[in-house]
Amino acid sequence: MCFSFRMARLALVLVFLQLGAALVSAQLRLRIFAGASLGENYAPLPMIWVGIILVTSIIGALVIARLRAAASHRVVYFGVLLLTFVGTAVLLPDLSLLQLAYWVIAAIVLGMMTLRPYRPNANLLSDLQLLWERRALIVIWTRYTVRSRYSQTLLGILWIILLPLSTAAVFAVVFSEFLRASPRDDLPFFAYFFTGLTFWTAFSQSISTGTTSILNKLGLMNQVYFPREILVIVKLFEVIVDTSFTFATLVVVNLLYGLFPSPYYVMLPLVLLIQFMLTLGLMFFISTLSVIIRDVPQLVGVGLQIMFYLTPILYSVSDIPQHYQFLALINPLVPLIDAYRAILLYNTMPDIVSLFYPLVAGVSLMFLGYRYFKQRERLIVDYV
């Protein structure tokens, strides 16, 4: 039987689920101090394991295609997991059993969230194709909203820079002068805090504006058809424009403190991509729920306030007490903020392993959020 496009797509899904679980398990094994100590030569993600995942995923895609409606994605997926586990245990006896346990748990969670009984449905691909065809609308709409937001103000687009700068200045004075707080390694507190605040603001502003992106446009949705997800994506693009101006200001501030750009800036697009995937997935979920449950915007505001203090923006991860370190482990923004500071302040390579979990969470949330949004797209107007 030839390997068709449908089978290739199934194989890619199985590869992502297993490989994503492997990335999460590698980070958990290296970050949680449990089990036997690991040697210096311990490989958290051996290439042989990746090969086993590829082979078993192809086998799983062949089985699903052969059985068609007689089997579900989940049934075959758990069979593939069992096959991969046996193959890994036999071919990689040195791999930590605790890491394998983490892998099984992460793979089951990812599989239960994303896989459904087999049905040949290409709606998701057609929706993405339609969205790509309307990409010009996203650009035009984003340009219009950014310009109109500051068209009647005296300082205009300078407000994009002044708002985060003023916030950072107030916090810097209060914490560095009044409370005598200071980051490690003798970094200027203003630069340290402004770096974290810049990218936290990108996240919080996206979530806040995305919450009401659909709710505020219900009248327009009843008048003309367009891909409804554009309303959410435009809000994200607005934030990206704002962040670009704030980032330019951040670079200037760092230069004033003697913190010059380094070759590690090439890693910034990867970290930003992970953050915006994570953000967009949450925006799809929250924008839909806000129409159905009108209390969601208020709950999101409270949640963002709590997350601000649970994310190391005013402090570093090393300042978190040991019995609260699990909060840093489950918060995907923590490794992202640390990566930004490593690149912009310390001129070092960010910890790649720490980005495994945010990467998997970002891709998963973007897929699940978009699918959730499209499933309820036609029902949204019924809640007006």
Consecutive 10-residue averages of pLDDT for the chain (384 residues): 65 87 88 73 84 87 68 76 88 85 91 65 74 89 82 66 76 65 71 90 93 83 82 93 89 88 93 95 92 87 91 85 82 93 92 90 91 83 64
Length of the chain: 384
186: left (phi over 0), alpha (psi -120 to 50) or beta: left
| Contacts (Cβ under 8 Å, ≥6 apart) of 93 | none
Q: For position 223, what pLDDT does the model report?
A: 80
> Which pLDDT value is given to residue 274?
96
Long-range contacts of 195-198 (CB under 8 A, 24+ apart): 195/250, 195/254, 195/340, 195/341, 195/344, 195/345, 196/311, 196/312, 196/313, 196/314, 196/337, 196/340, 196/341, 197/164, 197/167, 197/168, 197/171, 197/313, 198/164, 198/243, 198/246, 198/247, 198/250, 198/340
pLDDT, tens digit, for every residue of 128-160? 888 888 889 999 998 888 888 766 666 666 777
Tell me how crowded residue 107 is: count the other CB atoms within 10 A of its CB.
25
Q: Per-residue pLDDT tens for 266-275?
A: 999 999 999 9
Whole-number Å distance between alpha carbons of 159 and 164: 9
Q: How far apart (Å, rounded) are the C-alpha atoms in residues 216 and 239?
A: 18
Instruction: Report pLDDT for 156.
Output: 61
* Residue 59: CA count within 13 A, CB half-sphere: 14
Segment 157-161 long-range contacts (CB within 8 Å, at least 24 positions apart):
157/245, 160/241, 160/242, 160/245, 160/246, 161/245, 161/246, 161/249
Nearest to 328 by CA among 28, 19, 110, 26: 28
Burial of 36 (0-12, 13-18, 19+ CB in 10 A): exposed
DSSP sequence for 13-69: HHHHHHHHHHHHHHHHHHHS--SSPPPTT--SS-HHHHHHHHHHHHHHHHHHHHHGG
How many other CB atoms sit within 10 Å of the CB of residue 240?
15
